[in-house]
Structure 1
Amino acid sequence: MQLKYKIVTLSVLPLIISVLFICVLVFAQSRKLEEEQAKLIESSIMAAKQAELKNYIELASSLIAPLYESGRNDEAIKSQALDMLARANFGVDGYFFVYTREGKNLMHPRQAHLVGKDLLGMTDNNGLPVIQALLESAQHGDGFQRYTWEKPSTRQVTEKLSYVVMLDRWDWMFGTGIYIDDVEVATRKSREEVASGVLTTVLAISSFAMIAVLVVFAGGLMLNVSEHRLADRKLYALNQRIVTLQEEERSRVSRELHDGISQQLVSIKFQFELASLELQNGQEKGLENLRSGISRLGEAIGEIRRISHDLRPSLLDTLGLLPAIDQLVAEFEQRTDIPTHYERHLDDAPVDKNVSVTLFRIIQEALANIERHSKASTVIISMLNAKNAIALRIEDNGVGFSPVLMEKSQGIGLRNIRERVDHHRGSFTVSSSPGRTELYVEIPLQRA
């Protein structure tokens, strides 16, 4: 995976995971809230219905109270009370019913076929013995009982809440009930409203997350385009730099050959020709010119060796870094007459080839700059192991220079050194003042 895709993935993936976690948390909390709200609504409606049923029973009790309080227990007075309760209907499906203590139905205005039957063992759709449960609630409970019963208006079996009381002197249980299918409708509506709110919240979160993802993607795309443009500019500058360095190196080699070796060889050729003519004429001076030409030819060979050594030191390939630096320092002292103190505290383990070339070229470039510009009388070079790195310090007592101005100038010496050090992810510092200039380099140690 390319770096740009890794960046976008690391930006978008945590956002998507966070949004999914929030959505799951919202769903879990909504389910809990949905159940709590449904229970609250159900309990509120049931409390209201219980109060309503108590009111109906109190009204019915007040209707038959004169008959019950008369003290009579004959069938006539009971029949009159049953007729009064049978006519006392309320609403579409509201009515009163009466059972004996033994479970025999005495009055049911909506289901006449049940009158006179023993219903003590009758069960509802859930297996609940309805009449037994009603008698138990009237005698020992709060009088309320839930069960399923056929709704007169729809002929469908529906949840019902009844409230019953005992008339002990007549051995009656009479009561009434309310069908509570509307409670289920209310709780279902509550759940649907909560679910709709949760869906709206999740959609809003998802929308914001999508917008955030698009913003991150757009930002990544813009960054990618910007990085591509920057990389293209750097690549173009690098290509130009390579071409410039090639031309500069070719110019330097051409100048060395034309101004040095070429002139010497032409001069030697003329001197050999002159010596040849003089020898042909029997002049003793010809032998002297021949010896002088041979001497100058040796100098030319040395100059060719120097140019070759500058291009690629043979000792660096054959004997290694330290002998190559020894030769470089010796040639510098011989050429410039500047005393050079060289300290090395490296172990004998061979250094990586690329690092060796870098260190050699840095010392070579620094000594060349000292020779051309510093007017120094002493040079100190030290190289040692420091915290898994090779530390190189080059110091001279010359006139100094301004590193900032040198970096901005067209010179390539310090720039070459910095680029070589950056290539190995090392560090490079240079400080200078009149009488002291120090160049310090640290390169991570890479063994061959």
Structure 2
Amino acid sequence: MQLKHKIVALGIFPLVLAIAAICALVISLNNKLGDQQAQLIEDSILVSKRAELKNYVAMAQSLIAPLYKDGQGDEHAKQKVLDELRKLSFGVNGYFFVYDRQGRSLMHARQAELVGKDLMDMRDPHGLLVIQALLKSAQSGEGFQRYAWNKPSSGQVTEKLAYVELLEHWGWMIGTGIYLEDVERATQQARDEVANGIRKTMVSIAVVALVAVLFVFASGMTLNLSEHRLADTKLQRLNQRIVSLQEEERSRVSRELHDGISQVLVSIKYQLELAGILLDSGEARGASILKEATLRLGEAIGEVRSISHGLRSSLLDTLGLPAAIGQLSEEFKQRSGLTVTFEANEFKCLLDEGVPISLFRIVQEALSNIERHALAKNVSITLYGTKQSVRLTIVDDGIGFNVAKVERRHSGIGLRNIRERVEHFGGELQLASIPGRSELDITIPMSMPCTEI
């Protein structure tokens, strides 16, 4: 994956992660809220149904009270009470039932087949012992019991809430109940509304997330495109500078060959031709001219060596960087007439590939600038190596220059090219200049430890 794609992914991933966390939190809170809302609805409905059941049982109690109190428990009075309760109903599925303490059904208004049966051990689909639970609730005085029972109108087992009371003198338990389908419908409706709200919220979050992701993606692509264009521009400028530098170097070598070696070789050629003619004619002056041509040939060889040394010092490969800079300093001293001092400590270190030649070129460029522009008389060069870095310092006593102005120039080799060489190896360049003192201070870190001698 390319770096620009990694940057875009790095920007989108935290956003997607945050949105996912928000969605999970919203779903959790909404589900919790839905459960609370459904519970509140169920509780409020059950409160009203409990009050309704109590009223029904109270009404039945008031109806059978004369028979229960005056009949003194004879069979006729009991049968009369059962008949009266059988007639009582409210709605299609509202009816009364009567059981004795042993769990035997004495009356059931909708399921006559149960009358006379012992139902003490009967369980509902949830495993609840229904009659035992009803008797226990009646004896405790609480009266209410929830269980599953067959609904007469539909024939389906449905949740039911019953309220029962004891007729102590007769040992009976009478009660009635209400089926809770409407409660289930109300709570399910509440949960459905919450689920629908969650879906709408998720859709809204998804739309916002999509817009945000697209915005981040578009911004990243725009930034990448801008950076790509800037990089292309810098690359074009770099290529142009490289070509310009190559042409400048070729022009310099061509000029030196034409103005120096070429003229010397032509002069030698004429001298050799003249010496040959004179020697053929037996004149002694031919020998002196031949000797002079030989001396000029030595000068030509020296000029070739000088050009070769300018392109790359042989000492740099054989004796190392300090020796190469020392020779360069000596040659500059002889050529320019300036006073040049060079100091270097001895250190054992294998410099990174390209560092020695870069430092050598930096010294070449610095001395060239001093010769052309500084009007200096004295130059000091110091090369000092430690375990952590190698430091090169060049100081002259020239007229100085405006550092900021010079570094803003975009043509030629110059100080900008020196800075780029240093920064390529992770080094630092400090440049200061005032009339009478200009200092170039370069530090390049060592990638491998070295020792001083």
Q: TM-score, normalised by structure 2?
A: 0.90
Segments of structure 2 that go 5 or more residues without pairing to the other structure are none
Secondary structure of the residue that 1:89 maps to in structure 2?
coil
- Provide the rounded CA distance (Å) in 2 between the counterparts of 1:434 and 1:46: 99
**Kept after mapping to 2: 8 A contact 1:95/1:177:** yes
Q: Which residue of 2 aligns with 1:437?
A: 438
**Kept after mapping to 2: 8 A contact 1:346/1:383:** no
In the TM superposition, residue 287 of structure 1 has moved relative to its aligned partner by 5.3
In the TM superposition, residue 37 of structure 1 has moved relative to its aligned partner by 3.4
Secondary structure of the residue that 2:120 maps to in structure 1?
coil
- Provide the rounded CA distance (Å) in 2 between the counterparts of 1:183 and 1:389: 83
Secondary structure of the residue that 1:350 maps to in structure 2?
coil
1:264-306 alpha-carbon deviations (Å, 9 max, x no partner): 3333444455555666677766655554444333323222211
In the TM superposition, residue 325 of structure 1 has moved relative to its aligned partner by 1.2
- Provide the rounded CA distance (Å) in 2 between the counterparts of 1:121 and 1:260: 127
**Kept after mapping to 2: 8 A contact 1:272/1:293:** yes
Segments of structure 1 that go 5 or more residues without pairing to the other structure are none
Q: Which residue of 2 aligns with 1:42?
A: 42
**Kept after mapping to 1: 8 A contact 2:141/2:165:** no
In the TM superposition, residue 70 of structure 1 has moved relative to its aligned partner by 3.3
- Provide the rounded CA distance (Å) in 2 between the counterparts of 1:303 and 1:140: 125
Q: Which residue of 2 aligns with 1:295?
A: 295
In the TM superposition, residue 389 of structure 1 has moved relative to its aligned partner by 2.0
Letter in 2 for 1:266: V
**Kept after mapping to 2: 8 A contact 1:110/1:152:** yes
Q: Which residue of 1 aligns with 2:242?
A: 242
Q: Which residue of 1 aligns with 2:16?
A: 16
In the TM superposition, residue 189 of structure 1 has moved relative to its aligned partner by 2.1
Letter in 1 for 2:364: Q
**Kept after mapping to 1: 8 A contact 2:322/2:383:** no
**Kept after mapping to 1: 8 A contact 2:71/2:77:** no
Q: Which residue of 2 aligns with 1:173?
A: 173
With 49-58 and 417-426 compared, the bigger mean Cα shift is at 417-426
Query: 1:136–1:355: structure 2 CA closer, same or farther, 3 Å change rule?
Result: same
Query: 1:169–1:444: structure 2 CA closer, same or farther, 3 Å change rule?
Result: same
- Provide the rounded CA distance (Å) in 2 between the counterparts of 1:270 and 1:5: 70
With 38-47 and 312-321 compared, the bigger mean Cα shift is at 38-47
Q: Which residue of 2 aligns with 1:91?
A: 91
Q: Which residue of 2 aligns with 1:422?
A: 423
**Kept after mapping to 1: 8 A contact 2:147/2:160:** yes
With 151-160 and 203-212 compared, the bigger mean Cα shift is at 203-212
In the TM superposition, residue 161 of structure 1 has moved relative to its aligned partner by 1.2
With 102-111 and 147-156 compared, the bigger mean Cα shift is at 102-111
Query: 1:68–1:231: structure 2 CA closer, same or farther, 3 Å change rule?
Result: same
With 339-348 and 102-111 compared, the bigger mean Cα shift is at 102-111
Q: Which residue of 2 aligns with 1:350?
A: 350
Q: Which residue of 2 aligns with 1:252?
A: 252
In the TM superposition, residue 393 of structure 1 has moved relative to its aligned partner by 0.8
Letter in 2 for 1:159: E
In the TM superposition, residue 32 of structure 1 has moved relative to its aligned partner by 3.6
Letter in 1 for 2:130: V
Letter in 2 for 1:413: G
Secondary structure of the residue that 2:264 maps to in structure 1?
helix
- Provide the rounded CA distance (Å) in 2 between the counterparts of 1:408 and 1:131: 100
Q: Which residue of 1 aligns with 2:402?
A: 402
Matches within 5 A, 1:269-288: 269-273=269-273
Q: Which residue of 2 aligns with 1:53?
A: 53
**Kept after mapping to 2: 8 A contact 1:355/1:446:** no
1:234-269 alpha-carbon deviations (Å, 9 max, x no partner): 222222222211111111111111122222333344
- Provide the rounded CA distance (Å) in 2 between the counterparts of 1:121 and 1:316: 108
Secondary structure of the residue that 1:380 maps to in structure 2?
strand
- Provide the rounded CA distance (Å) in 2 between the counterparts of 1:20 and 1:151: 46
The number of aligned residues is: 448
Secondary structure of the residue that 2:399 maps to in structure 1?
coil
Letter in 2 for 1:440: D
Matches within 5 A, 1:320-359: 320-359=320-359
Secondary structure of the residue that 1:376 maps to in structure 2?
coil
Q: Percent identity?
A: 57
Query: 1:436–1:73: structure 2 CA closer, same or farther, 3 Å change rule?
Result: same
In the TM superposition, residue 54 of structure 1 has moved relative to its aligned partner by 0.8
Letter in 2 for 1:120: M
With 37-46 and 139-148 compared, the bigger mean Cα shift is at 37-46
**Kept after mapping to 1: 8 A contact 2:279/2:286:** yes
Say yes or no: does 1:185 pair with 2:217: no
Secondary structure of the residue that 1:155 maps to in structure 2?
coil
Letter in 1 for 2:315: L
Letter in 2 for 1:441: I
Query: 1:31–1:261: structure 2 CA closer, same or farther, 3 Å change rule?
Result: same
- Provide the rounded CA distance (Å) in 2 between the counterparts of 1:446 and 1:172: 101
- Provide the rounded CA distance (Å) in 2 between the counterparts of 1:120 and 1:34: 38
In the TM superposition, residue 380 of structure 1 has moved relative to its aligned partner by 0.9
In the TM superposition, residue 362 of structure 1 has moved relative to its aligned partner by 0.6
RMSD of equivalent CA atoms: 2.6
Say yes or no: does 1:413 pair with 2:406: no
**Kept after mapping to 1: 8 A contact 2:99/2:173:** yes
- Provide the rounded CA distance (Å) in 2 between the counterparts of 1:344 and 1:174: 116
Say yes or no: does 1:263 pair with 2:263: yes
- Provide the rounded CA distance (Å) in 1 between the counterparts of 2:351 and 2:129: 98
